[in-house]
Structure 1
Amino acid sequence: MTDDVDEGSSSSSQASPDDVSEAVEADAPALPEDADAVREALVEWYEADHREFPWRRTEDPYEILVSEVMSQQTQLGRVVSAWEDFLDRWPTVSDLAAADRSDVVAFWTNHSLGYNNRAKYLHEAARQVRDDYGGEFPETPEELSELMGVGPYTANAVASFAFNNGDAVVDTNVKRVLHRAFDVPDDDAAFERVASFLMPAGESRVWNNAIMELGGVACGKTPTCDESGCPWRRWCHAYETGDFTAPDVPEQPSFEGSRRQFRGRVVRTLGEYDELTLDALGPRIRVDYGGEYGREWLRELAADLADDGLVEVEERDGEAVVRLRR
C-alpha cells in the first residue's frame, strides 16, 4: 500500500434497501423507512442543478486523478485554471510519465497547489500506470490504491467518477450531512455503514458526486437549507430540531435554528402569498410544526414581527391571519 495523503475514506459493503430497520436503525435513528425516496430526492436535486466543474464532464481517469490531487489543498474555483493548464502541458498519462519531475514540481509551485510532494507522487503514479499497467488505469479502488500517493479516498473517487465502480465516499462533508440529516453518531464505522447503505448499487458516479455536492453547497458549516433547496429537508433531523452542530462544527452556529432564522422564513414565505393563517404558515417554515412549536409559538413569533413593523396580524373568524405589511 502506498502513502495515504488523503482525508476521508470509503466503504465497500452495501445492504439491501429492505434491511433499513435492522441494519442501520441504530446508526441512523432519523433515517426514514422509505430510503428509496431519500436516494431519489438527492439524485434528482443534483441532476437538476449542480456546480459545473470541467472534471465532471469527463470520464478519463487521468484527468480525474489530476483534479482530485489538486483539490486536496486548493479551493475548487482556483483548481479549474490550474487543471486546464496542467492538461494543456501534459494531456495524457503518458505525457506526464515522460516529463521531467522538476518541471512538474515547478508547475505545482507556480500555481500554488500546496505541498510539492503531491506533484512528485502524481508524476510517479503516472509512471506506474505506464510501466506496470501498460498505460491503462486500473479500475477498482483496491488497485488504484497501489499507485503512489493515492490513498483510499482518492482511489475511490477515481473508481467512482471514471469507471462508476467505486464505494460510498465518506469525507468530512459527507459525515456532516449524515450526522445532521439522520442523527448518525460521530463514529467512522457508523458513517461508513450508513453511507454504504444509502448509495444505490452500481451508481457510485452520480451518488458520490451528489452527496458531496450537498455537503459543499447546502450543508456547509453554515448551512443554507432553504436557499439551496436541500432535498433532504423533509426528513432532516437538524432542520427539524434547529441543531446544526456536526463533527466539524462543534458549536451551534449563531443563526441556524435560531428565532432569527424562523423570522426570516416567515417573511420569505409571506412574500409568496397574499396572506396565510397561522396553521397554513406553520408547516411552511418548519417541518415539525405542532406541539411545542405549534400555534402559540408561531403567534408569538408573528407578534414580534408585527412589533417590528414587518407583518400585520389580523383576527378573522376566530383565526389569526398574517400578511406582510404594505
Structure 2
Amino acid sequence: MSDEESPLSGVDRDAVRAALVEWYESDHREFPWRRTTDPYSILVSEVMSQQTQLGRVVDAWEDFLEEWPTVEELAAADRADVVRFWSDHSLGYNNRAKYLQEAARQLTAEYDGTFPESPAELEELMGVGPYTANAVASFAFNTGEAVVDTNVKRVLYRAFAVADDDGAFETVAQGLMPAGESRVWNNAIMELGGVACGKTPRCDEAGCPWRRWCHAYETGDFTAPDVPEQPSFEGSRRQFRGRVVRVLGEYDALALSELGPRVRVDYGPDSRAWLRDLVSDLADDGLVEVVDGDDRSDGDADDDEDETVRVRLQA
C-alpha cells in the first residue's frame, strides 16, 4: 500500500498520536497489571483476559499472584491445583491454565527464569500466540509491534475507513504507532476501543480524542467488522454533530439561521439554544470555528444574532 493509497494519507499523524496519548494519560481505567512491567504478571493477565471481561479478571489475577508470585513457583506447582484455581475463578478453558504452567516450566528450564524480550522469542513459549507475545513485549519491555485486536480493528475501521482486511489493519496500526512507544500506545488504542469506540460508540460521552479525524463521526455510520448493523443513534446528539460537520463541508461558512434548517427539518425558534450549544461543543473539540458575532447560549438571543453568528469548519 503506497502512501497515496493509505487511509492515513493527508492525516497529521503526530497530532493523532498526541491526542490519543494525552487522552489516555489524563484518565483511563485502572487495572493493576497496567502498574507493573513484570513480564510474568503481565503474561498471567493476558492469558486470563482471553475471552474474559477485564473486570472479572482483577480478583483472579491478584489471587493467582498471591498463590504463585513467581514464574518458578508456578512451574513447581501441582498441575491439579492450577487447574482447580482456574475453574474455581470461572476463567474458562482450563487448557489455558495448563499452557500457562507449561510456559512457566519452559522459562525455568530453558531460560533460567528470565523472560525473552522480543515478540518472536516470546512466541516460542508454550501456548503463547502472536497477540499474547506482542502484548507481553509491549507492556513489559516496550519492544512490541502495534497491537491489532478486535477493538483496534473497530477503531481503525471507523476512524480512518480502513478496509476490512488483516493486512490493511496491521499496516495502518503500525503506521500510527510512535516508534519505540508500544507500551503506552497499545494501552491507549485498546482503551479507546474499550471505552469510547465500543460496539455502541460513546464518542462525546467518553471525549474520544479522534473525533476531528474520524470518518464514522463525520458520516454517522458506525458499522464495523464486528458491528454489522448500524448502532441506533437516530435523533442522538452524535448524529446531529455529524450533520453539522457534513453541512459545513459543503459551504465556506453559514449563519446559524442558515445552518439550523439544514441540520434538522423541525428547526425553529425553540431550537436556537440547542444549536448554539451544539456548535459550542464542536468548537471546543476543534471541529468548527465561530467566525463572526458573539455566540451566546443563554437562550435569549434574537433573530439578528442568529444572522450574524457564522460558523465554518476548522481549518
**TM class, shorter-length:** 0.7 to 0.9
> Residue 298 of structure 1 aligns to which amino acid in structure 2?
G
Instruction: State the Cα distance separating 1:34 from its structure 2 match.
Output: 1.5
Corresponding residue to 1:81 among 59, 67, 84: 59
Instruction: State the Cα distance separating 1:292 from its structure 2 match.
Output: 5.7
Corresponding residue to 1:186 among 164, 167, 175: 164
Instruction: State the Cα distance separating 1:261 from its structure 2 match.
Output: 1.4
In the alignment, which residue of structure 2 is the partner of 1:55? 33
In the alignment, which residue of structure 1 is the partner of 2:5? 26
In the alignment, which residue of structure 1 is the partner of 2:303? 315
Show CA shifts across 1:19-41 (max 9, x none).
xxx7444241x654321111111
In the alignment, which residue of structure 1 is the partner of 2:295? none
Instruction: State the Cα distance separating 1:73 from its structure 2 match.
Output: 2.0
> Residue 261 in 1 paired to residue 236 in 2?
yes
In the alignment, which residue of structure 2 is the partner of 1:39? 17
> Residue 290 of structure 1 aligns to which amino acid in structure 2?
L
Instruction: State the Cα distance separating 1:265 from its structure 2 match.
Output: 7.8
Alignment check: 8 A CA contact 2:244 2:263 kept: no
Instruction: State the Cα distance separating 1:297 from its structure 2 match.
Output: 5.8
Alignment check: 8 A CA contact 1:180 1:236 kept: yes
Corresponding residue to 1:213 among 182, 188, 191: 191
For 1:139-218, what aligned pairs fall within 5 Å after superposition? 139-218=117-196
TM-score (normalised: structure 2): 0.81
Secondary structure of residue in 2 paired with 1:316: helix
Sequence identity percentage: 71
> Residue 122 in 1 paired to residue 100 in 2?
yes
Instruction: State the Cα distance separating 1:304 from its structure 2 match.
Output: 3.0
Q: Distance in 2 between matches of 1:66 and 1:121?
A: 11
Alignment check: 8 A CA contact 2:261 2:267 kept: no
Alignment check: 8 A CA contact 1:24 1:194 kept: no
Structure 2 segments unaligned to the other structure (5+ residues): 275-298, 310-315
Corresponding residue to 2:206 among 224, 228, 236: 228
Alignment check: 8 A CA contact 1:168 1:199 kept: yes
RCO greater where, 1 or 2, for CA within 8 Å and sep 6 or more?
A: 1
Alignment check: 8 A CA contact 2:247 2:263 kept: no
Secondary structure of residue in 2 paired with 1:319: helix
> Residue 290 in 1 paired to residue 248 in 2?
yes
Q: Distance in 2 between matches of 1:318 and 1:235?
A: 28
TM-score (normalised: structure 1): 0.79
Instruction: State the Cα distance separating 1:82 from its structure 2 match.
Output: 0.3
Alignment check: 8 A CA contact 1:234 1:287 kept: no
Alignment check: 8 A CA contact 2:33 2:41 kept: yes
Secondary structure of residue in 2 paired with 1:168: coil
Aligned length: 279
Instruction: State the Cα distance separating 1:314 from its structure 2 match.
Output: 4.3
Alignment check: 8 A CA contact 2:220 2:239 kept: no
| Aligned Cα root-mean-square deviation (Å) | 2.5
Q: Distance in 2 between matches of 1:26 and 1:133?
A: 44
Q: Which moved more, 1:113-122 or 1:300-309?
A: 300-309
Show CA shifts across 1:79-130 (max 9, x none).
0000000000000001100001110000000000010000000000000010
Structure 1 segments unaligned to the other structure (5+ residues): 1-21, 267-281, 322-326
